[in-house]
Amino acid sequence: MSLRALTPGTVLFAVLLTLQSPASAGNDWMPPVLDATVKKECGACHMAFPPGFLPARSWTRMMGSLADHFGEDASLPNDKLEIVRLYLESNAGDVVTRGRAARYMQWVTRGGTPQRITESPDFLRKHRFRDSVWEDPKVVTKSNCLACHTGADQGNFK
């Protein structure tokens, strides 16, 4: 087939087939944060974690204690707080229940309100590394997903 015979629509279709999609990412895909306010406010200090990693009640608790957010004051003005809280709760793992979110919700005890994604059995099972990995200056902390998962901000944790 000649390249001249390819229409723009055919080329676009071929390109789209090669892109990483939620379907092709399978169980390693987590719906990423799409809200601009959430990306800006949460992403000011760390990657805006996909809300599917925790149940809604965990996000509610976390948003209610931002004055001491893992040792930092992450307080937000009420208008932004409400936008972020509603987004996280609406897209939480017990609401989304697909891809990696479904697996993360399996470890949450009934009524439990975990606060650390890095303490889930699924995370711990997949991240059994020597201490030197966590001490690497490019990694530093277990919550630095982007150090190893370059597509994490798009929901791809392969």
Q: Name 155's Cβ contacts closer than 8 Å, sequence gap at least 6.
A: 22, 25, 29, 30, 31, 32, 50, 99
Percent of the chain with pLDDT over 90: 59
pTM, entire model: 0.79
What average pLDDT does the structure give for the chain? 84
Task: Tell me if 117 sits within 8 A of 54, measured CB to CB.
Answer: yes
Domain parsing of the chain, residue ranges = 22-154
pLDDT at site 10: 42
Q: Which of the four pLDDT bands, split at 50, 70 and 90, describes residue 147?
A: very high
Q: What is the CA radius of gyration of the chain?
A: 18
* Structure confidence by residue, pLDDT tens digits, 48-90: 999 999 999 999 999 999 999 999 999 999 999 999 999 999 9
